[in-house]
Amino acid sequence: MSFYSAENLYFSYNSTPILQGVDLHIDEGSIVSLLGPNGTGKSTLMKLFLGLLSPKSGEVFLKGKTLQSYSIKERALHVSYVPQSTQVAFAFCALDIVVMGRIAFESWFQKPSKTDRDLARVAMERLGIGHLEKRTFQTLSGGEKQLVLIARSLAQGAKILVMDEPVSGLDYGNQLRLLETIMKLSKEGYTFLKSTHFPEHALMLGGYTYALKNGHILAHGLTCKTITQELINELYHTNIELKQTVCGYPVCIPSFVHSTKV
Give all domains of the chain, ordered by start, each with its CATH number: 4-227 (3.40.50.300), 228-262 (no CATH)
β-pairing, 57-62 with 4-13?
A: antiparallel
pLDDT at 192: 97
DSSP per-residue string spanning 109-154: TSPPPHHHHHHHHHHHHHTT-GGGTTSBGGGS-HHHHHHHHHHHHH
Report pLDDT for 37.
Answer: 93
Q: Which residues of the chain have pLDDT under 70?
A: 1, 85-89, 106-110, 246, 258-262
pLDDT of residue 23: 96
How far apart, in whole angstroms, are the C-alpha atoms of residue 9 and residue 57? 6
Record the pTM. 0.89
Residue 188's alpha-carbon distances to 14, 43, 99, 131, 216, in angstroms, are 41, 26, 22, 23, 32
Q: Is the dihedral of CA 179, 174, 127, 111 positive or negative?
A: negative
pLDDT of residue 256: 79
pLDDT at 189: 94
Please answer whether residues 11 and 44 qualify as being in contact, where contact means their C-beta atoms are separated by less than 8 angstroms.
yes
What local confidence, expressed as pLDDT, does residue 233 receive?
94
**Residue 100 CB partners (closer than 8 Å, separation 6+):** 152
Q: What is the pLDDT of residue 205?
A: 94
Residue 140 CA to chain centroid, in angstroms?
A: 21
- Give the H or E element holding residue 45: helix 42-50
Residue type, 177: R
pLDDT of residue 262: 44
